[in-house]
Amino acid sequence: MELFQEHFKGKVGLRLELSSEGRYALRALLYLAWVGERVTADRISAGARVPRRLLARILAKLSHGGLVESEQGRGGGSQLARPAGEITLREAVEVVEGPFVINRCIMEDRACGEGAPCTLHEAWGEGQRAILEHLDTQTLDEFVACMPRHKFPPNTGPHG
């Protein structure tokens, strides 16, 4: 065990990352949950730090996925389509990113599912299922409850 710990000492662990669009979608959803009312795209962009040029596409995907309701014109804006306690992180991410799946075989240079499963297929699939099950238990309201009421969380760094 010591050799294993020594080998990984100071190294960055496995990173499961979302695309910029996925991160911005989560910010927008959390902002809408935090505000709790219909707000303009300009307000979402400024408050959630989502580039305005990308926000329209993100809101369209979230609306198409049934997570956001948007109205155009004077008095228009966007709001959550359902209570924040009914929107899971998995659903929020998959609406924008698409379903989480293993795309490439770990052991061979081919798409996963082409041919017989590789040696690692079952273990990797179980890990993926565990992550998805966890994301299915996490709802927007749980995170909003941890945010200060007077100000949406500030930018805390280059990936904040």
The pair of structure tokens assigned to 144 is: 């909003």
Collapse the DSSP code of 77 into the 3-class scheme (helix H, G, I; strand E, B; otherwise coil) and give the result.
strand
Residue 53, classified by CB atoms within 10 Å of its CB into exposed (0-12), middle (13-18) or buried (19+), is exposed
**Is 50 among the domain residues?**
yes
Query: What span, in angstroms and rounded, lies between the C-alpha atoms of 89 and 95?
Result: 10
Asked whether residue 154 is domain-assigned, the answer is no
Per-residue pLDDT of the chain (160 residues; tens, 9 = 90+): 444 445 455 555 555 678 899 999 999 999 999 999 999 999 999 999 999 999 999 999 999 999 999 998 888 899 999 999 999 999 999 999 888 776 778 788 888 877 788 888 888 888 888 888 998 999 999 988 887 776 776 554 444 4
Rg of the chain in Å (alpha carbons): 19
127 within 8 A of 116, measured Cβ to Cβ: no
Listed in order, strand segments (DSSP E) in 38-104 are 68-71, 77-80
A 10 A CB-CB count for 24 gives 22
What confidence tens digit (pLDDT) does each residue in 121-153 have?
Answer: 888 888 888 888 998 999 999 988 887 776 776
Asked whether residue 8 is assigned to any structural domain, the reply reads no
Residue 160 lies in a domain: no
Domain count, the chain: 1
Q: What is the pLDDT of residue 6?
A: 53
Q: Domain span at residue 49? A: 19-144
In a domain, 46, yes or no: yes
- Find the CATH number of the domain harbouring 135: 1.10.10.10
- Number of Cβ within 10 Å of residue 28's Cβ equals 27
- Side-chain-facing half-sphere of 137: CA atoms under 13 Å: 5
Spatial neighbors of 45 by CB under 8 A, at least 6 apart, are: 51, 52, 55
Instruction: Flag whether 155 is in a domain.
Output: no
